[in-house]
Amino acid sequence: MFKYHLKKIKERFAPDVVIINGENASHGFGLSVKNAKELINAGVQLFTGGNHSWDKKDILPLLDELPVLRPLNYPKAAPGKGIAYMDVGGETLVVINLMGHYTMPMVDNPFTMIVDEVQRLHEEGYRNIFIDFHAEATSEKRALLAILKGKVSAICGSHTHVGTDDLVIDGDTFYVTDVGLTGCRDNVIGMDTKQPMDRFLTSISGKFDVPNQCKKILQGVIFEIEEGKCIDAFKIKAYDENEIKVTQKAYRE
């Protein structure tokens, strides 16, 4: 479904860059080399990640070779990189992958780290800056907007799998709390319902799995940047292989 709709997205909206959070792209957990290459061939130019970036071990040695990011605030000893510099029509787009604290693995403070990182980028002349903030708590994501509005071009939240409708351009920075998942929709955050139900009913955890058959959804956002400022943004959504709909325009504060 993703490949089908990505082709339609390119035909209709002609995006300059396609970036996806791919940490669950390989059957719900991690990103394998095989799936990364399949998605690159389909038109993905950069992957961001999160707490599941490490689930597929075959990709770890290639994190410096493939266009794959992991959160910037993982310890420096962790493989891979958390920032990418992309040439887009002769301008540089800086993409940063960042991870929150609540319920997440032990990482460096994302807020103090990103303030220093954005200041460094500004001093070096970079203005087109996009952040994928992979975090559980909506308060962490909103706080990041408050800290960085007017200083970065866009902040998109990921991780909770549930898309939000709070698209806003505030201080020329585009923000959405969570882009939402692309995958199975008739279940619990993309996973087969049996294990989540058993866990809530018995308090005993087990292995989550993606169902073999399900109803599907694609969710995403498209935003336009000029000279570091977001000038337009909107949300797109598609059910199964039905037509892609623009479901919401960003409100400008």
pLDDT at 28 over 80: no
- Model pLDDT, residue 232: 96
Query: Is 142 part of a structural domain of the chain?
Result: yes
Query: Is 210 part of a structural domain of the chain?
Result: yes
Statement to judge: residues 75 and 107 lie in one domain: yes
Statement to judge: residues 9 and 63 lie in one domain: yes
Query: Is 172 part of a structural domain of the chain?
Result: yes
Statement to judge: residues 88 and 196 lie in one domain: no
Query: Is 24 part of a structural domain of the chain?
Result: yes
Cβ(135)–Cβ(107) below 8 Å: no
- Model pLDDT, residue 122: 98
Dihedral Cα 21, 23, 29, 33, nearest 10 deg: 110
Percent of the chain having pLDDT more than 70?
Answer: 100
pTM over 0.75: yes
CA distances from 180 to 93, 98, 146, 251 (A): 23, 17, 21, 18
Tokens matching residue 226: 């000029």
Query: Is 154 part of a structural domain of the chain?
Result: yes
Question: Amino acid identity, residue 101?
Answer: H
Statement to judge: residues 193 and 162 lie in one domain: no
pLDDT class for 251, splitting at 50, 70, 90?
Answer: very high
Say which CATH number the domain at 53 has: 3.60.21.10
Per-residue pLDDT tens over the stretch 122-170: 999 999 999 999 999 999 999 999 999 999 999 999 999 999 999 999 9
Per-residue pLDDT tens over the stretch 68-110: 999 999 999 999 999 999 999 899 999 999 999 999 999 999 9
pLDDT, the chain, mean: 93
Statement to judge: residues 107 and 192 lie in one domain: no
Query: Is 159 part of a structural domain of the chain?
Result: yes
Statement to judge: residues 81 and 125 lie in one domain: yes
Statement to judge: residues 94 and 205 lie in one domain: no
Domain extent, residue 240, equals: 2-180+217-247
Residue 50: which of 93, 5, 104 has the closest Cα?
Answer: 104
What sign for the dihedral angle of Cα 139, 142, 144, 147?
A: negative
Catalytic residue status for 27: no
**Would you call 158 helix, strand, or coil by DSSP?**
strand
Query: Is 253 part of a structural domain of the chain?
Result: no
Statement to judge: residues 200 and 97 lie in one domain: no
**Total domains in the fold of the chain:** 2
Statement to judge: residues 163 and 200 lie in one domain: no
What residues have CB less than 8 Å from 38, skipping those under 6 apart? none
Statement to judge: residues 155 and 205 lie in one domain: no
Measured between alpha carbons, how far is 190 from 133 in angstroms, rounded to an integer?
20
Statement to judge: residues 207 and 152 lie in one domain: no
Residue 100: which of 133, 53, 149 has the closest Cα?
Answer: 133
Query: Is 20 part of a structural domain of the chain?
Result: yes
- Model pLDDT, residue 29: 83
Annotated catalytic residue, options 5, 52, 134, 161: 52
- Phi/psi region, residue 227 (left: phi>0; alpha: psi -120 to 50; beta: rest), is left
Statement to judge: residues 162 and 121 lie in one domain: yes
